[in-house]
Structures are given as C-alpha cells and as structure tokens.
Structure 1
Amino acid sequence: MRRKIPSPSALLAFEAAARHGTFARAADELALTEGAISRQIGRLEAFLGVMLFERVGNRVRLLPNGARYAVQVRETLDRLERDSQYLMGQPSDGASLDIATLPTFASRWLIPRLARFHARHPKITVHLAERMEPFVLAGSGFDAAIHFEHPAWTGMRTHRLLHETLVPVCHPALVERGGSLDELPRLHRRQNPDAWQDYAQESGIVLSNPATGARYDLHSMQIAAALAGLGVALVPRLYIESELAEGHLVAPWPAGTSIAKTFCLVLPEPIRLSDGPIQIFADWLISEARSASPSPDLTASPRS
C-alpha cells in the first residue's frame, strides 16, 4: 500500500520556512528560489488540506496547526538525519554493535578496555549509549546492555560480570594533614544517601554525623572531587583501580564488606549466541570481567 506522506522536498521547505519565519531565508538555506519554496509549501498545504502559514507582507507566520506540525516534522527530519549519519559511519566490510550502559561504568571501566577489543576485532565497531534505567531490549535498537542486576530484566538473558563494593578514597594530601575519617569532609552520591552510614556500621568506624558533606549525582563526580582534594569519596573500587595504583588516590580505610550492586550483561532472549559479533563481544567482556574480579559466583552460566 502506498504511504500517504508528503514529498520530502515539501517537508524540507516547510521546516526551513517555519524555522526562519520567511520564505526568502528558507530559499537561501536550500539553494532554491523564494518562488520554489512558496510552491512547495502550497503543495504541502493542498496535500494536507490545512493552511500552515498566514502570509503577512514579506513574512509568514505559523498558524496553530502549522506550529504543531513544524515541531513534528523537525523531530522526524532530525531523527532521519541521525539514522542516516549512523549508517554512513558504518564500516563497509565490518559489523557494529549498539550497547546500552551506565555512564560512569562506561567511562571508568569499559572504555579504557575497549582498545584491547578493537585490537583483536578491528572490523567490529562498538557504539555506546547511556541508559540509566532497565528497559526491554526487544525493539529498543540495542544489541545488549551492561547494567545492574535487576528483576526488570526478566525474560532476557543475563550474565553476571562484576560486583560493586565501595571503598573510601581521597587525595594523598588530605591524609597527610592528619585527622580521623570522622574529621575529614565526606563526599556523597545523591542516589545513595545512606552509604556512609551503612559503611560505618559495617566497618565499625564511628562517624558522628554520616550525612554531612557535599552531594553529587554520579560516582564519576565523586571521584573528580576526591582527586581535587575536596574530601573522602565512598566509591566502587573497580572505578578507581588505576588512580590507586598510580598514587593519585589513597585508600587508608577498610573497604566495605557488603556488595552494593552487581553488574551484568543483558542480552535478548531468545538469541543465537553461537555466531556473530554479539557472541564475540560477550565472550570478550566476560573474560575481561573475570580477569578484573575472579569471583566464583560470577562464573556461573547465563540466566534467563
């Protein structure tokens, strides 16, 4: 069945005229004459059976229907442009994967390791995008997700990767000044306001007021603040291994004993894991996670 949509040329002319407020500027942008723009919009109005513009002298003004339609057309054209640029950027002789993940995990753990993956598999391009909450993979456009273990992943295949345990860290200069942990400024993650109180109870360290201190949305912000000497951050150790090894951060206090959360690889179910780029990436990721944290309960088979 033939689609009932206007011509692309008419939509481009309309979007440009709506954005600029004049046919003349739209014509300049699209390298057309003002008359050509006017004719395209006239055809569009005839196709829709709705007036989109009110002509006022040399200018045009969007009518209510035109204003609503302009927003929808602009969003559609923007999405089409993004999708087209995405395909244009794909390797002609390779494959690509779209992976959803958490921003701090991507920047602090995954991306620093991707060079090893690309060195072994140069024809597979890995695209990363931020997704803060669990979602349904089917129909999402993502091949996989790396996220916290969560009941919302029911019906999808999950494989445990890494446990998140929290450790207090700070700039070395902060420790050199002396003073107990209770006397030093503490840095908090806004989404986990009780983390310091829980840590104090686990470790047996007395904190007179665990809730005091600056708050940040992301662990990456906490880490940056700790590196700047602003206080002690309670962050996942897996995010700051290199800073600890290089001496940029120190951890003179005991780590937390409980597991805050567990990262897992999420794949759609059913899926054929016996072939294709997703199997290659999954095998590599699981191997990297095992090397980073060889915990027995992380080597179990995938679960659905």
Structure 2
Amino acid sequence: MTRRKIPSFTALQIFEACARSESFTRAADEMALTQSAVCRQVANLEEFLGFALFARVKKRVVLTEAGREYAARISIHLEKIERDTLELMGNHGGGALELAVIPTFATQWLIPRLAGFKREHPEIQVNLSSNTGAFLFADSRFHAAIHSGKAPWPGAQGDWLLEEDAAVPLCSPALLRECLGKTQGIVVEDMMRLPLLHLQSRAEDWRHWFELHGSPHDVEAMAGAKHELFSMLIEAASAGLGAALAPKYMAHRQLALGSLLQIMPHSLPGQTGYWLAYPPERASHPAFSAFRAWLLTQAKMHQAAMQTPPAAAQN
C-alpha cells in the first residue's frame, strides 16, 4: 500500500500556530516548546514541501504567498479535526450529524419533529446550520443537507422528501381591519387594497396568484417590500406590514396565536419540493442511516396528512 504524502501532524500544528501569530516565539509559548524546536519543525516542513513558508525580515517572520495559502487550508482541517474530536467525546461515541438546512423549513417543519427522533435515538446528536445554496460536501463540514429544488443536488445522492405545500394569502387581523374594515368575506379584488409582501426569490408570486384567480394585476402586484426568507416574510405579515403568500404549515404558530389569518382559500400551487442530499459514502453510516430512515417516514406521514380530506381527519 502506498504511504500517504502527509507531513508530520506536529509540524502542521506548529506551523499553524506560527502562521496565526506570525511569531515563532509566541508559537513556542503556545505549544510549550523551545523556540529552536519550533524553528526546526518549520524548517523540516519547508524541506518536505519544497518551498518557503515564511520570509525572515529582520527579527520578524512573515508568511510567503504560498505559506499564507497553505496556512488557510491547514487551519480549516485542524479546526475540523478538533471539532469532530470534541463532538465525538461529548457524545460518548454515539455519533453526531452535521446537517445544512433551509432556515424556515428547519424551524417550522423539522425542529418540531426532532424530539421524536431524539426519543428513538438518544445517542445521536443532530446539529443544524442554515445554508440555502449548493456546495460540495468534500469542502464542507456537513454530512448531509436538506434543500429545495426540482432535482437531486448535483454531485450528491438524493432522496425526495415532500412537495412544498400550496401558498395561501396570510395577513394580520389588525391590518385587515385598517385597510378593509373587515376580517371575513374578503374577495380577490379586496387584496389590491392591502400592501403586498414578497419573497425575494419569488417576486412574481402575487402576480401569478391574481392571474390564477381571474384578476390579473401585472404592475400593482409587483409592488411591495421583499424579504429573503419565508420566516422573515411571515414575521413581517404578522407585524402588520402587509399580506404574504406562504405555505400554511410555515405559519402554523402565528395562525394558532391569531396574529395571522388565512384570508381566503385561494392558493398558489407549490413550485418546488424538498430533498435530502448526501454523498454516496455517507449512506452506510449508522447514525446517518437512522436519521435518514426516520426523516423519510416523517415526510410520508406529512404527505398522507395533507392528502386526507378534512371530514375524514375529524372522524
């Protein structure tokens, strides 16, 4: 078997400390070594690499361009090794999952269900981080991601979770009374008397909604404040800043509290869906395999509940 072309781990730690402080003396103090030992390790590393990492300027050391680039890369890997080690120690070897998620989907759909997963698998820790864009798993700390789209994530394996629910018009009762003088019996044309809020990535949703329900408003329906996330959009609507179009489950808390009302049943069909994306080699990992099986079951239960007629659901 070919031996890996990797320098001494001790040398890498010392180099990273020197690069961070740009001082062999401070690095020696940090690593509890003599300055001569630090200099020797850096020299050995430079010999191994075949290029200089530092330029000696009088009594100071300054990173070369190559040294600066190498330090940035090594720092990422050392931080990841430390984080993985501490997480494994803190979780007593049970396993931790780093999951990139869409913020609103995570807060409104995933997190309320995670207590059930924790009861089934108390030994597995699920860490969630907001990330809305595609990335390469090899260049990140994430084991998997939940993303929205119409196809699996390029370069990764993907499981279809569920369709996005239809978006419904939502508004605070105070704004309805202020603008319309009523909170019930609202018709499509009444909506143009309300300020409209938009999701930045779907700025034409209201225009499509009016067109779908027989009342085209090309210009007027495009006016209004725009927000980056559904969570921001829903909070803005709840604060009385305007009416929003959003999947109903994303506003279930505000609807239950009465800070938002679903103005009418007229909806805009969901435009995308949610996927669980992960590198192929992650599929056989025990902790991820357990989470994946649980998540797919939760998604099936959600879809079944959405397809159940209201009358049947009450029986």
1:98-144 C-alpha deviation (Å, 9 max, x unpaired)? 54432221122111221132234323333434453568989998776
Q: Which residue of 1 aligns with 2:220?
A: 209
CA distance in 2, matches of 1:15, 1:138: 21
How many Å apart are 1:189 and its aligned residue?
0.8
Aligned length: 293
Q: Which residue of 1 aligns with 2:298?
A: 285
1:196-216 C-alpha deviation (Å, 9 max, x unpaired)? 100111233564601111111
| CA 16–215 in structure 1, closer or farther in 2 if over 3 Å, else same | same
Task: In structure 1, list runs of 5 or more residues that go unmatched.
Answer: 297-304
CA contact (8 A) 2:158 2:277 kept: yes
1:3-40 C-alpha deviation (Å, 9 max, x unpaired)? 23221222222222122122122223223333332222
Q: Which residue of 2 aligns with 1:103?
A: 103
Aligned pair 1:218/2:219, yes or no?
Answer: no
CA contact (8 A) 1:172 1:250 kept: yes
> SS of the counterpart of 1:169?
strand
The one-letter amino acid paired with 2:193 is E
Deviates most, 256-265 or 12-21 = 256-265
> SS of the counterpart of 1:191?
helix
How many Å apart are 1:91 and its aligned residue?
4.1
Q: Which residue of 2 aligns with 1:55?
A: 56
| CA 204–291 in structure 1, closer or farther in 2 if over 3 Å, else same | same
Q: Which residue of 2 aligns with 1:186?
A: 196
Deviates most, 132-141 or 101-110 = 132-141
> SS of the counterpart of 1:126?
strand
> SS of the counterpart of 1:240?
helix
Task: In structure 2, list runs of 5 or more residues that go unmatched.
Answer: 181-189, 310-315
Q: Which residue of 1 aligns with 2:313?
A: none
Deviates most, 231-240 or 130-139 = 130-139
CA contact (8 A) 1:22 1:58 kept: no
| CA 103–18 in structure 1, closer or farther in 2 if over 3 Å, else same | same
Q: Which residue of 1 aligns with 2:74?
A: 73
CA distance in 2, matches of 1:46, 1:153: 41
Query: What TM-score does the superposition give when structure 2 sets the normalisation length?
Result: 0.77
Query: What TM-score does the superposition give when structure 1 sets the normalisation length?
Result: 0.80
Q: Which residue of 2 aligns with 1:37?
A: 38
| CA 151–70 in structure 1, closer or farther in 2 if over 3 Å, else same | closer
1:41-66 C-alpha deviation (Å, 9 max, x unpaired)? 12222333323222233311222332
The one-letter amino acid paired with 2:202 is N
Q: Which residue of 1 aligns with 2:85?
A: 84
CA distance in 1, matches of 2:158, 2:208: 32
| CA 292–68 in structure 1, closer or farther in 2 if over 3 Å, else same | same
Q: Which residue of 2 aligns with 1:234?
A: 245
Q: Which residue of 1 aligns with 2:208?
A: 198
| CA 295–201 in structure 1, closer or farther in 2 if over 3 Å, else same | farther
What is the percent sequence identity of the aligned residues? 39
CA distance in 2, matches of 1:268, 1:76: 19
| CA 285–145 in structure 1, closer or farther in 2 if over 3 Å, else same | farther
CA distance in 1, matches of 2:76, 2:130: 20
1:45-93 C-alpha deviation (Å, 9 max, x unpaired)? 233332322223331122233223222322332333333334334443x
| CA 136–78 in structure 1, closer or farther in 2 if over 3 Å, else same | closer
CA distance in 2, matches of 1:289, 1:199: 25
CA contact (8 A) 1:164 1:263 kept: no
Q: Which residue of 1 aligns with 2:122?
A: 122
Q: How does 1:142-153 map to 2 (within 5 A)?
A: 145-148=145-148, 150-152=150-152
CA contact (8 A) 2:152 2:275 kept: no
CA contact (8 A) 1:134 1:152 kept: no
CA distance in 2, matches of 1:63, 1:143: 34
